[in-house]
Structure 1
Amino acid sequence: MLKTHEVLQAQEGFISHQVLEQVSGPGEFNFVTIVQWESVDMIDRAKVAVQAAHRARNFDPQALFQRLGIRADIANYRPVAA
């Protein structure tokens, strides 16, 4: 995760990121990663960069998730007026 975040931080349009750990409640996920970007276009570019970095390290995140029984819920969100 740290290597991936290093790649993300180096990308154009990166604003910030947080990794949150669940400390109570019945939620399904123990960790949540939130990355903020300037625009949707920047997200698409970052995905390409992360995939290239994973290939360069011969890292297959899906294989890791399967081996460790990790369920990832990967999606894009946008702020809404509350």
Structure 2
Amino acid sequence: MSSTSTDGIVAPLYRINKFAVPTAARSEFVSLVEKTLAVIRSQEGYVMDLFLEQHAGPGKFNFCTMIEFESEEFAPKVAAAIAEFDKSLDIDRAVLMEKLGVETDSASYKSFQAA
């Protein structure tokens, strides 16, 4: 018996973060992202990530991270781990990004399934 129902199927969650990073902030920014990704990679539900730097084309965002999780249920746990990491470093991420002049655009995505 076959069915096209997707009941019971858990869809992956993708977190995409885009950054416009001034040249003067590049080193500090890259260091923070690498440390943050190390925390994320150790979390339950983590599948894979990409940390990309733009090398051609128009657009203001010159860095991007894409992180895949097994499902959206893991997002709050990962967010809590990152908050704990920030606390251990005594940083406020939003304040630091403003200080560095980094503009961000972040959102969570699921795979598009055309009907």
Of Structure 1 and Structure 2, the greater strand share is in 2
TM-score by length of structure 2 reads 0.67
Query: Aligned-pair distance for 1:77?
Result: 1.0
Match of 1:46 among 78, 96, 99: 78
User: How many equivalent pairs are there?
Assistant: 82
Matched residue, 1:64: 96
Q: Where in structure 2 are there 5+ consecutive unaligned residues?
A: 1-32
Matched residue, 1:5: 37
1:8-49 per-position Cα deviation (integer Å, ceiling 9, x unaligned): 001000000001111111112000000000010111210011
Q: RMSD across aligned C-alpha pairs, in angstroms?
A: 1.2
Determine whether 1:26 maps to 2:58: yes
Determine whether 1:55 maps to 2:87: yes
Q: Which runs of 4+ in 1 moved over 3 A?
A: none
Percent sequence identity over aligned pairs = 33
Larger Rg over CA atoms: 2
Higher RCO, 1 vs 2 (CA within 8 Å, ≥6 residues apart): 2
Structure 2: distance between partners of 1:40 and 1:69: 30
